[in-house]
Each structure stands twice: as C-alpha cells, then as structure tokens.
Amino acid sequence: MGLFDKFGKLAAERASLSDSHPFGIRIDEMYSPTEGSIQGKRVILAGTNNYLGLTFDPDGIKAAQRSLELEGTGTTGSRMANGSYAGHSALEEELVDFLGRRSVIVFSTGYVANLGVIGTLASAREVVLLDADCHASIYDACKLGGAEIIRFRHNDVADLERRMVRLGDRAREAIILVEGIYSMLGDQAPLREIVEVKRRLGGYLLVDEAHSFGVLGAKGRGLAEELGVDSEVDILLGTFSKSLGAVGGFAACHDAQMDLLRYASRPYIFTASPAPSAIASVRSALKAIKERPELRRQLWTNARRLYQGLAESGYQLGPQASPVIAVMLKSPHEGLAFWRALIEKGVYVNLVLPPATPGAVTLIRCSVSAAHTPEQIDQIIEAFASLRSPVDLVTVGA
C-alpha cells in the first residue's frame, strides 16, 4: 500500500470536479481591500473575511513597516524561548483594557489559540459539550486534549440542556463550546439562553468570537457584549485574521489564573510567536475598532443590503443577515459551476463543499466588508441575479 493510497476516495472526488477546482485559487494581484485580479480578470473580492476592510489601512501599514525596520521579519522563536517582544506584551495589555478582562494570551494563529487553550483545558478527565457546527479547530482541540466529546444540535439550547441533565453532577465542571457568529451560515449562537442553562446546571462557557470580534457589540467586543452576557462567558477566543486584518489569535479570561496556560499549553510553548510587524498592524487595527465605530455601522449596512438583494433574487440563504452570507446550492458540481460563473462576472466568493458544511449542503459563501462600496454590493447582487436567468440555468443549474 502506498503512503497516500488511503486518500483514494478524496482523489476521486476531486477528479470528479475537474481540474478547474477552487482549492488552489490564487489572487494574483491586490488593488484594495475589495478588489484584486484572478487569472488575469479584475474581480470584486467578496470572500476574504476582511470585515472592517483594514488590510490596506494606512496607519496599519505604516506601523508594520516601522516594526519591520526596527525588529526584523520574525522572532524565530516561541513565546517561551526568545519570541516574546515588547509588542506582544503591549498587545496583550491593550486587549485586557479593550475587553475588560484580567488575562489575555496572544497566539500565533486563531487555530493555535483554540488548540492551545481548549486542548489544554479539555483533558482526558473532562467532558466537553460543543455545538455540532463548531469550527474544525475546536474539534481538533478537544481531540488533542482527549476530553469526552458530547455534541448538541446546532443552536438547540433544549438539546444542550438535556445532555447536561444526563451528566448529573458532572455537568457542573463541563466545558461548553460555541461560536459567536458561525462561519458557514453566518448565524449567531443563542448566548443568553445558553447562559441561563449554565446558571442552573453549571459548567464553563467558552465562546469563539472569531467572526464576531470587531463586528458585534457597542464597542466591537463580540456577541457576548452585544447580548450583555460577557460576565458569564469564562473565556473568549478570537483571531486577528478577520476584523483585525492580519494573522494571530488570542484568549481572554476574567480569571488571572489563565496565565498558567503559558506553562501548560504545548501549542503556545512550542510554536514560533507572531511576526512583530503583524503584531504592530493588529495594534493599529484594534485602535481603529475603538476609535472608528462607523466601520461597524457601514459593515452592517452592506451586509443587510447584500442579504436583502440575494433574498429578493430568490436564493436560499442562511437564517439571518450577517457579514457571512451563504447561498445554498444542491450539489458540489452545481456549486463549482456557479462559482466559476461568478468569477467570469467579476465576483470572487468562497465555494464550501461537504463534509465541511452543515447538513452536507453546498455553499457559495460571501464575506461582506465595510470597505465595499454600495456600487460593489449592487454589482455582486446583479451577478447573482443574472445567474438565475433561463440562459444561465442550463449551464449553472441554479
């Protein structure tokens, strides 16, 4: 048996989608947060998670450039060795202040933040209750720690409660894992109702705010702030690769003892720390979130405009308007044809295929940005609407 023979089924599935699949798509040039070039064609970027459009923010670019000149291109070491620079500590202090929490740890990516925190806390002696639609990094973290994993139906608080009741006294020490905004359909966790269950039955609540940080809440702290339950959320997890426009991740806790994870978390101890220039741009972006609430307002104006336009065009969408807007299609082949057709019409989005999607549906997923102009939003709507015409229905199957 060859080393890669075990992936035969996967190879066959990829081959069935032809060589023109999206998984190796390359953006050849970037012109702005919302425009680029793919295969020689200028496109509107509507699949980048660049929610606040800060990847080209002049202040962030200047901060990163200064850091490159003063600190070089990378730390070449982990936080526990030689990889903690003044900027890493300053960002942690700024996040403590912004989030109103006592402890913040910065990680190299959002994925590593979940591995490092959840994988360390959810050891073999623990039980974890996680929403069925949680991100792969959360599942991987639970497996890394060896915890007993109990899935509850997506956003089904009654199902969560039933499973906690069955745990009896063990529920008091259980770890509950949900997300602020879910990355597939853009829907939000029912945090108020989950907090009520936690108050009655116990447990520790961890919320991954990757797609909701900078997006929700009066100050941009996320869904927990938006719903007024921040004090009931034990640990917030997040990433710098969405609203903050760079790369990295963080965990934030009301309990200062979370700092002990710096000495217990293998992904933290043995991963090289984020490049100083990335940290510098994140600090600039965090300042923008605090000082420019108009970015959030524009993001939601754009999101509602796109959601309404796609709904009026007759598409089946996720359950609520969100910066993540998913169009549901019947099959991978239909999705691939649709995705290609959108690029031809000058719009780049994400094609997400089973088994990564809820309910094995095929998704065309849009990510809205505050940097999109109303005209660009309308162009995206027009591209989608045109693919429901009789001519395109034959090709695309929409």
- 260/181 Cα distance (integer angstroms): 28
Is 183 catalytic? The answer is yes
How many Cβ atoms are within 10 Å of 2's Cβ, its own excluded?
7
Using alpha carbons only, give the angle 131, 169, 205 rounded to the nearest 5 degrees.
35
Q: What one-character-per-residue DSSP string does 140-152 give?
A: HHHHHHT-EEEEE
Q: What one-character-per-residue DSSP string does 31-88 give?
A: EETTEEEETTEEEEE-SS--TT-GGG-HHHHHHHHHHHHHH-S---SBTTTT---HHH
Q: Which of 242, 273, 277, 281 is catalytic?
A: 242
Is 211 catalytic? The answer is yes
Is 123 catalytic? The answer is no
358 within 8 A of 184, measured Cβ to Cβ? yes
In sequence order, which residues have a C-beta less than 8 Å from that of residue 117 and are 6 or more positions away?
Answer: 105, 141, 206, 235, 237, 251, 261, 265
Tokens describing residue 349:
């989005």
Q: Which of 135, 211, 345, 372 is catalytic?
A: 211
- Bridging pattern class, strands 347-348 and 249-253: unpaired
Q: Which of 183, 212, 265, 367 is catalytic?
A: 183
- 279/250 Cα distance (integer angstroms): 12
Q: Minimal CA–CA distance to 210: which of 240, 187, 230?
A: 240
Helices (H), 110-234: 110-121, 136-145, 157-167, 191-201, 223-226
In sequence order, which residues have a C-beta less than 8 Å from that of residue 24 and are 6 or more positions away?
Answer: none
Active site positions, annotated: 183, 211, 242
